[in-house]
Each structure stands twice: as structure tokens, then as C-alpha cells.
Amino acid sequence: GISAWEAMSFHLSFNPLMRLENKVIIVTGSCTGIGKAIAQRCVTEGARVVIHGLEQDLGEAVVAELGLDRAALHIEDLTADGAPQRLVEVALKAFGKLDAIVNNAAMVVASNIHTTDLAFFRKMLEVNTLAPFALIKAALPELKKTHGAVLNIGSVNAWSGEPNLMPYSVSKGALMTLTRNLGDTLMREDGVRVNQINPGWVLTENEAQRKREHGLA
């Protein structure tokens, strides 16, 4: 015989938790890396997802893996005028509603006070802080209907940051404050939850390439 714990583990290995059954979730930056892994897990747990990014071929490969009945694709720079609203419209057209957003797309470029000019700093804030804000704002009417949720993907650098990641760290710190502000306001006013996780370094495809460019094996 087997123990109750072994039986439950066996059951879960073939029947993953369906915590997201019938949910519709936008995951930005999900053609690769953390975003792709989040999208895969969401589908495993029953959700339908909008895959987003900048790489058409990689995005199509993710959608093909997840299934056309489970995933839709939108390729566009989120800082473009009207891009957040178009992304929301893709979700509504494909799946009829929107339950959650994962703000994962981000610009990760090393620089410090000596190598950073204002144009670069503004671009970093535009991509990492203002684009997530704009998507939350565009999606809010739909999230209110479903009492949905927002998950912002930050960074451990939000607390202070590595010397050579100064603008990136500031952008994630600003995102953390935005998360706390909206997490308070939107929960009380609209029943929409807003949270952030601040992971440490993760060996994604892009990070592997970046480290090789730094001369590392």
C-alpha cells in the first residue's frame, strides 16, 4: 500500500491544481524567460493567456506550444501610443473578458551614474514603470468587472540595487511604490488586487546570452 501523502502526490502529478480555471490573463514579456514560464504555468492551471513581447517567431512558438484555444499573441512595444489598450482588446476579442495582468516585460541594461544620461534614464522608466502603469489603467474597467488582479514583476534591486544597475533599480523601486499605492486604492475602491514580487537573478535565455557577452561560460 501507499501512504495518503504519496497518493495525493501521485494525484497532483497527473492532475495539476486548477486554481486559474477559466481565468484570462495577459502576461507581458512572455515570449521568453520568466514571462514565458508564468504563462506556461497559468495554462497548466486552467487559464487562457495573451502572450506578448517583441519577438514574433518566439511568440508564435509559445502559442503553438500552449495551443490556439489557450493562447493568443500580440507583438508590440508597450511604450507605443495606444499599445496597452490594444493589448487589452486582444484579450477581449480572443477570450471575452480579462481577469488578470502580469506586468513582466522590462528593459534590463547595465549602467551607473557615469554611463547614464537622461534620455536613457527616461527610456528605462518608460518601459519598466510607466508602461505597467498604462496597462493597469487601460485594463482597469475590465478588471473591475471580474474583481481581478495585477501582479507586477519587480526585482530585488528595487530595494537599493547593484551599482551597475542604477536606472533599472530605480525603475523597479518606483514600480514597487506604484504597486503599494494601487494595492491600497484599487482593492478598496474596485475590488482589484495589486501585488509585486521581487525575484533575484534568474538564468533566463536573455541572461545567459548577456553573461556570455560578458565573457562568462
Residues labelled as active-site residues: 168
For cell 560578458, the residue is 214
Closest Cα to residue 58, out of 36, 95, 31? 31
109 in Cβ contact with 121 (< 8 Å):
no
Residue 156 class from Cβ within 10 Å (0-12 exposed, 13-18 middle, 19+ buried)? middle
181 in Cβ contact with 173 (< 8 Å):
no
191 in Cβ contact with 144 (< 8 Å):
yes
d(CA 38, CA 41): 5
Which three three-digit cell numbers place residue 75? Answer: 507583438
